[in-house]
Amino acid sequence: MVKYVINASKKKSQISKHIYGHFSEHLGRCIYGGIWVGEESDIPNTHGCRNDVVEALKNINIPVLRWPGGCFADEYHWKDGIGPVDRRKKMINTNWGGVVEDNSFGTHEFLEFCELIGAEPYICGNLGSGTVQEMSEWVEYMTSDSISPMADLRKSNGKENPWKVKYFGVGNENWGCGGNMRAEYYADEYRRYASYVKDYSSNKIFKVACGPSADDYNWTEVLMERACKYMQGLALHYYTIIGPWENKGSATDFSEIDYYRTMDKTLYMEELLIKHSAIMDKYDPDKNVALLVDEWGSWYDVEPGTNPGFLYQQNTMRDAMIAGINLNLFNQHSDRVHMANIAQLVNVLQAIILTEGRKMILTPTYHVFDMYKVHQDNTLVESYINTSEITSEEYKVRDLVESVSLDENNKLYITICNTDLHNPKLVNTELIDYTPNNLEGKIITEAMNAHNTFDAPQVVAMKDFNDVILNENGFTMTLPPCSIVRITLE
């Protein structure tokens, strides 16, 4: 029997709803075909955006959406994507498949899409190949309400009032595709570009600096030491890859060893959060600068027969587990983690939605976001669980990963992942300072490589979970192998 203790009166940090954020890049079929089909399409749409995708996203309360990249961001020139569509410049998307980008989805289309789905925009500016003026004018174009050339340009394109844009990234992966810079050089460039990312009218920008790749602790050290007073956020990127890079493995056809190696790599996120936060604490003990994990998720070989530059992969119960673990870790570290953006929204990497022409399916990862949305903006409460390790020479994996939050109506939400592929876990939960009258359970569980297809879209989905019994100290539950469970108490 596993011991689990939840102390509802030990309130910790607020779980920012932005931890449940997403990322959409001009990459493969994420924007074109995934989000945007154009007004003339026979796929039902609102101002060019697919209605089925909009509805699915509204259902999970997507709080924030990052755009236009990714590597694409540091080659993107925003003025090419405004004004009459037939006069917009075309370019080659050099990062992703060498296809023609016709700029038909630009600033107006993205911000209108955010309005449709009720998400805040998070724009990533071009530091790698753009100018300070270009970045500065983009912010002015979107947010200025005063006498200004860029506000006039926006009005001439049919948008009288400015948008509210809070989150703005000053470059992406500038240690790599965003310019191959050294940390010291980027820190100076960041300071220069960020100086001209201004607040117009009542709009207040939250400036995000490019942060480290995985365990590049030196990058965090240098950025924090040299530039932390000019930023509100530092963006960490970490993908679950069981590699090597040339052979990342199939998304659907994998062994138990591959599964556990994937879990091991996923759990490494916790070490990254702890170590990067410790460096940030040195320079920013009051936690004024947030850690944003603005790219995370699984990365496998592309589906056979698809364009290698499009990063299209299937999504299984293993991916649901990756999402469940990461989201619990972000909740647990929400004192420093303010936002996280899974890569990517539709048809790319660990997508929550896949489309094929008119058809659309929700992936196992989508159902995890649906299950966990209840945590958004709640208060994290203290919890302790007695975990075991599943080990071999190739991996070391914790069997249970959980987090607990309390909402403003005193409802308690517990989300817990059982990574063990063979053993159910009988969990005895003691509740301190909380006496529930009602309990509801939900579960996502299937074989590790189960997935949804266009012919069988409901193989992995959220179902009712009844293997849970209230008692005088709390409750007991039996978690099936390879499962993700949510318990709601009130």
Give 16 or 350: the residue with its C-beta nearer to ligand AHR: 350
* Segment (H or E) for 14: strand 2-14
Give the shortest CB-358-to-ligand AHR separation in angstroms.
26
Tokens of 232: 């509100």
Give the shortest CB-142-to-ligand AHR separation in angstroms.
22
Give 33 or 83: the residue with its C-beta nearer to ligand AHR: 33
Is the CB of residue 94 less than 8 Å from the CB of residue 75?
Answer: yes
Give the shortest CB-245-to-ligand AHR separation in angstroms.
11
**DSSP three-state, residue 43:** coil
Give 165 or 351: the residue with its C-beta nearer to ligand AHR: 351
349: phi > 0 → left, psi -120 to 50 → alpha, else beta; which? left
* Segment (H or E) for 139: helix 132-143
> CB count, 10 Å around CB of 44?
11
> CB count, 10 Å around CB of 341?
27
Q: What is the C-alpha radius of gyration for the chain, rounded to an integer number of angstroms? A: 22
Q: Is 25 a catalytic site residue?
A: no
Give the shortest CB-299-to-ligand AHR separation in angstroms.
8
Give 120 or 173: the residue with its C-beta nearer to ligand AHR: 173
Residue nearest to ligand AHR (CB): 70
- First vs last Cα of the chain: how many Å apart? 25
Residues that bind ligand AHR (CB under 6 A): 25, 69-71, 172-173, 295, 343-344, 349
Cα distance between residue 460 and residue 453, in whole Å = 10
* Segment (H or E) for 339: strand 337-343
Q: Is 295 a catalytic site residue?
A: yes
Tokens of 352: 């929550």
Among candidate residues 173, 189, 402, 446, the one labeled active-site is 173
Give 173 or 402: the residue with its C-beta nearer to ligand AHR: 173
Is the CB of residue 444 less than 8 Å from the CB of residue 320?
Answer: yes
Task: List the catalytic residues.
Answer: 173, 295
